Amino acid sequence: MSRLIALLAMLFCLSAFAGAAESLLVPKLDIGKGGQCVEDTQWMRKNHMHLLIQQRDETVHKGMRDEKHSLKNCIECHASLRDNSVIGRDDSFCQGCHRYEAVKIDCFECHSSKRKSAWAQSK
Amino acid sequence: MSDINVQRRQFLKTSAGLAAVAIAPGMLLFEVAHGKPEAVSNKVRWGMLINTANCVDGCNDCVTACNKENGLAGGLNSGGLSPTDSQWIRKIELKDMRGGRTLSLPMMCQHCEHPPCVDVCPTGASFKRADGIVLVDKHRCIGCRYCMMACPYKARSFVHEPLHDQNPDVPRGKGTVESCTMCVHRIDRGQQPACAEACPNKAILFGNLNDPDSEIAIKIRTVASTQVRADLGLNTGIRYQGL
């Protein structure tokens, strides 16, 4: 019996340690203006790629420019206030999470990662 | 029944618009400068009428404006047009060898009604929008360049080098084909294409070919205009006057 209790205690300790370690590893993001913009934060974490892919097809082919869910609008809010970009640093809004999840983003091979206002000023 | 509903919807929209004018004219102006959430329709066909008599030999303002608006290098990186720089609009000089008459005109994507580039595209990346603008969906483009070979106007370019610092309104990237978009991002905001706006002599008239009361439709009804390579039967959206 005492062996079983010891085993359980050890498992509990391990899991608690693992939990703590995970929270240390979760990326700290520079979220720009931050807060809830267009949808609930948890929902966005799970579904932002579906919004973007639907938006991209509708905008390119049908000319529907729903600015609320556009990539440009994401960047407008979430680009870092330091360098006006969502990529480029380990804590950048897009790059930070995508590096953590090991999911490659190729949006920014064509799309600008900068706020429009910042881009216009740099020209 | 559906007709009645459509009319009612239009009426409601119009009255809402009038209310917006009455309440806050500034706000309405702000709204006009944004894209619309509705899909574009084939009731509109965007086109241009280029008056070659007003196009000055040696003037390059439309090309410069296009390069600036769409973030094309236009020879800025290499001190001259590099062989791999994209070219969405170019000036060409024509000379009648017998009479000696010379002409200068801008040449770009002619936004055909039956575009050969769309016919040959193996992935459906090259497409025509409902309002007549011919575009490349770069999400689908694999860079095979069939469309460049099919285009009788030599209007398309391939992006050979990696790009940085693109205009947020004009995504462009290595490995895809691109061409004049008629400044679709500006049209969707209710503005004119950059070249038409930049022309100092108003040689480029932009408008809706399908609207009989638009300036361009009236002009096409009343003066002689030509489509380049009309023999191909592509029904181009860009017409030339005095060619």
- Asked if A61 lies within 8 A of B137 by C-beta distance, the reply is yes
Contact status of B45 with chain A (Cβ, < 8 Å): no
Residues of B in contact with A65 (CB under 8 A): 34-37, 188
Is the confidence at residue B80, as pLDDT, over 60?
Answer: yes
pLDDT digits (tens, 9 = 90+) for B14-43: 555 554 444 444 444 444 467 888 899 999
Question: What residue in B sits closest to A61 (Cα-Cα)?
Answer: B129
Residue A105 CA to residue A107 CA, distance in Å, equals 6
B142 contacts: CB under 8 Å, gap ≥ 6: B122, B123, B125
pLDDT digits (tens, 9 = 90+) for A36-83: 888 888 899 899 999 999 989 999 999 999 888 899 999 988 999 888
**pTM of the full predicted structure?**
0.81
What would the mean pLDDT of B46-60 be, rounded to a whole number?
Answer: 95
Distance between first and last Cα of chain B: 49
One CATH from 1.10.8.50, 3.40.50.620, 1.10.10.10, 3.30.70.20 for B46-241:
3.30.70.20
DSSP-H helix ranges across chain A: 2-25, 41-62, 71-78, 93-101, 116-122
Where exactly are the structural domains of chain A?
A: 28-122
Strand order in the sheet with B204-208: B204-208, B46-51, B238-241, B225-226
Element (H, E) at A83: none
Where exactly are the structural domains of chain B?
A: 2-32, 46-241
- Give the CA radius of gyration of chain B: 20
In three-state secondary structure terms, B126 is strand
φ, ψ for residue A47, nearest 5 deg: -120, 5
Contact status of B165 with chain A (Cβ, < 8 Å): yes
Share above pLDDT 70 across residues of chain A, in percent, rounded to a whole number: 80
Question: What residue in B sits closest to A114 (Cα-Cα)?
Answer: B168
